[in-house]
Chain A
């Protein structure tokens, strides 16, 4: 894989991100836009492009887009209009896509991204509303292309960045931030692999210090975060090599091939479509009143940056921990639900960041599908805090809780893991251990104090994990000093 280490050139990157909105119904038709129905079952005559049908605006399309705009510091246009983007394709039943052109509903925003050694502000040119096309399926019938129009009319927003991005790493962080925000707002599930978040890039290079932009190429088909970074790296390298060897960058659209790890030409400038945009006459202008704006502002959840600050400042969490906890809204929600029950941010963070995240990673599931409720988790933590169980017992019980809905206390009892802090029970075991390990006792007394761990371990083993290690340490030290 090529790397970018070029003193001479810098890249100029702008990203266009399409996010599929989680509205219940389509952008302009009262029918479900949920993914995965049998082909052509989620359609109305409008979705099929039947004559005489008219689009009817789904108000949630407007609300969700405004949410995204407000969350990314955009201005919201009081009045904007829809436009038709005209082109022929079999999965575009009306022969045009309803989109926005000259007047996007949100514009002039920005977000902040954090890299290892610096922060950066990336401008957003615009966010506009549009509808998705259907799906052409080329690989199921040897002779025909099949068309599924379930997706036709699914609401999308297109988020266009300013050409403020300079490296593939910045692009990666930008995308991560966009994904985080759409998920926080619950306007999009942010799943790039399934196509609910899609990214195209405009890339050019220029000698460092030059103001003017170079000729750009457009990159498409980068269907994962990793692929965006790889494709950009490849394309920047390609452009630099080209210019260095005396060539010129040609304006064209390139497809990223994730298998071959290279870009190839899709269409040149000459073949570029003339979409013949014009105002959509079937839909009146979208008027955003200050009342509506206030209402939507009220609905906005706490955004990730703000939440992070609060976790660090008010809860006293470490920055790294706060960052991981706030990366997903749902993980942070889970954490805070637990915190509402048990006021011990550090203890909860500790379990969430280790045990919970481990399970989520192992099973590749989201926190929303995690089987242990925040209530149960806090009960477990409370057991530990009360010294009723020790750490290793906690882990065993946690693992059992994944499959078993009973309370941690019940499980601890059943698994016989309630910690024994009864010296009457522990002392015979300790004496036993000291008697059967005279060598270690001798060395301990000679000054090898680290051997205390060995004795504790032996006692824990003999007690089948139930002993309170703190008490064991205390008792053993006392015993050994006396002997």
Chain B
């Protein structure tokens, strides 16, 4: 299978040039992006400049370890001098003044950053439909969604517009679209990859991770993303393992936990059957399947939507139209306010009534309007929810309780990992759904993350690997979850699973 190692061999021998690889990808983007809508911006000239520069380094023998890899970047990760919009109107004109740590690392290793990918606004969503750029469409069938929120990154890899891409995973936003698009998607252990430069949605959940066409590339890319970062106090100081070497080795006898809670009601029958068949094959290969139980997983979605929205309500407070981003028309606001005052005076006749009516100050109205105009429906919904659960009098009942449940969920996993190396589950209960299908039903939309969300609550790592194609023609994935900092285990399991299919 073609991965970075084989590409680099060709580059070394001079059989191929990075400039050619880039041209091919630019051509594919040109041909298919209008349909798939995976990229929201691609600067051809900039890409060519990067390619020329890196080709020179290859020729001189000074190229970095990722030379030859062409990477798409989710529009939530800061790149200096580039627009970083998070697919939101409120940041539609915002340009970053600095590089995220992961971007710096990729540039240092001579990766090519080909463009910015589509996503759900501020990474809130499971379909890449909540975006000012219009929805991304599934490369397998354009009537269907790509999943989300990192849907553009998944689709870009699936549609062969780049080798790999970066996404962010807060509740399943890498793994679920990977499953829907038929690519590999990995969410590392929380704190394994620096969050500096990742626009925050829910800080105690957010993880940057790779999409790729094969497990080896995911391992290589992760190796260069991971590591301690002085710019992120929450990043881990643990040394980074050599993931690419680890996946190249045989995984030995894997103990795979099968949690019954992940194969129950709500799961598509065909997906269940497909995964079970594959697991039997793994068993034949020498893996041991062990039934495990994760009893608190059923509280995962409720817990997540309290904690993540609470953090989001605070993280998104900075988008106020004061220093950057969308600002409502202030002249109109002043007109509006004076009109309101006049109307009220007419109706009430006294100025005391005017005071009692408590019309917004111009500043408060500016905040309200800028944010009302700037944020989309789902983002507003989560800000309101998060504000509510942190409010005086409700904190203990919601936020406090949810934190306790989060600990229980984590404990479930710790217990299970006493017995097994990895835990297997479907990545999502179904294949991709139709565009627009869940737009009016947020709760149904949230259920897409039912199998992925617990890993974020527990802070553990997880990977989605293509598991097959449904009779409806759409791909679906399987998820391996590993204990914190056990990326090697899930990569090996995924690699073994991947080799079953070829």
Contacts and interface: CB of A to CB of B under 8 A. Distances in A.
A49 interface: yes
B200 interface: yes
Contact of B78 (A48, A52, A88): A52
14 contacts: A50-B324, A52-B78, A54-B196, A86-B314, A94-B318, A95-B317, A96-B314, A276-B313, A276-B391, A276-B392, A278-B395, A281-B202, A281-B311, A282-B234
B100 A284 contact: no
A52 B203 contact: no
A26 interface: no
Interface string B64-86: 00000000000001100000101
Interface in A60-107: 84, 86, 88, 90, 93-96
Nearest to A53: B196
A242 interface: no
A147 B324 CA distance: 13
Interface of B: 77-78, 84, 86, 91, 94, 96-98, 100, 195-200, 202-204, 230-234, 310-311, 313-314, 316-318, 320, 322-324, 363, 367, 387, 390-392, 395, 399
A95 B233 contact: no
A51 interface: yes
Given A49-B323, A51-B84, A281-B234, A274 B199 contact: no
B233 A284 contact: yes
B79 to A, nearest CB: 10
Q: Which 9 A-B pairs have the closest CB atoms?
A: A95-B317, A281-B203, A276-B390, A281-B204, A51-B199, A49-B318, A52-B197, A52-B78, A95-B318
Contacts of A57: 233
Given A50-B324, A54-B234, A90-B363, 15 more contacts: A50-B97, A51-B84, A52-B84, A52-B199, A54-B195, A54-B231, A54-B233, A56-B230, A56-B233, A86-B314, A96-B314, A276-B390, A276-B391, A282-B200, A284-B234
A347 interface: no
Contacts of A283: 233-234
A55 interface: yes
Contact of A84 (B94, B314, B324, B387): B314
Contacts of A147: 322-323
A39 interface: no
User: Interface SS of chain B: helix, strand, loop or mixed?
Assistant: loop
Q: Which of B94, B96, B196, B320 has the most CB of A within 10 A?
A: B320
A423 to B, nearest CB: 78
Interface in A279-301: 281-284
A51 B317 contact: no
Contacts of B199: 51-52
A53 B101 CA distance: 10
Given A49-B318, A86-B314, A95-B317, A274 B391 contact: yes
A93 B203 contact: no
Given A95-B317, A284-B234, A51 B311 contact: no
A278 B399 contact: yes
Contacts of A284: 233-234
Contacts of B311: 278, 281
A88 B363 CA distance: 10
A51 B82 CA distance: 13
A453 interface: no
Contacts of A55: 233
B49 to A, nearest CB: 24
A53 B324 CA distance: 14
A51 B310 contact: no
User: Interface SS of chain A: helix, strand, loop or mixed?
Assistant: loop
Contacts of A277: 390
Nearest to A273: B392
B359 to A, nearest CB: 15
B444 to A, nearest CB: 28
A45 interface: yes
B98 A45 contact: yes
A51 B322 contact: no
A42 to B, nearest CB: 16
Contacts of A90: 320, 322, 363
Contact of B94 (A51, A53, A88): A51
A48 B323 contact: yes
Given A45-B97, A93-B323, A51 B318 contact: yes
A51 B78 contact: yes
Contacts of B98: 45, 50
Contacts of B310: 278
Given A86-B317, A278-B399, A281-B311, A52 B234 contact: no
A183 B407 CA distance: 44
A283 B197 CA distance: 16
Nearest to B191: A284
Contacts of B323: 48-49, 93, 147
A356 to B, nearest CB: 47
Contacts of B100: 52
Contacts of A53: 196-197
Nearest to B325: A51
Contacts of B84: 51-52
Given A51-B78, A52-B200, A95 B320 contact: yes
Nearest to B390: A276
A88 B323 CA distance: 13
Contact of B320 (A88, A276, A281): A88
A56 B231 contact: yes
A93 B322 CA distance: 9
B391 to A, nearest CB: 6
A274 B391 CA distance: 7
Nearest to A86: B314
Q: Which of A54, A57, A84, A277 has the most CB of B within 10 A?
A: A54
A85 to B, nearest CB: 10
A274 B392 contact: yes
A282 B233 contact: yes
B234 A278 contact: no
A56 B232 CA distance: 7
Nearest to B194: A54
A48 B324 CA distance: 9
A48 B202 CA distance: 20
Nearest to A280: B203
A283 B235 CA distance: 10
A279 to B, nearest CB: 8
Contacts of A278: 310-311, 314, 390, 395, 399
A49 to B, nearest CB: 4
Contacts of A54: 195-196, 231-234
B103 to A, nearest CB: 10
Contact of A96 (B78, B234, B317): B317
Contacts of A95: 314, 316-318, 320
A54 B229 CA distance: 11
A51 B232 CA distance: 14
Given A51-B318, A84-B314, A282 B203 contact: yes
Contacts of B318: 49, 51, 93-95
Contact of B91 (A51, A56, A84, A86): A51
A55 B200 CA distance: 12
Contacts of B96: 50-52
A245 B233 CA distance: 57
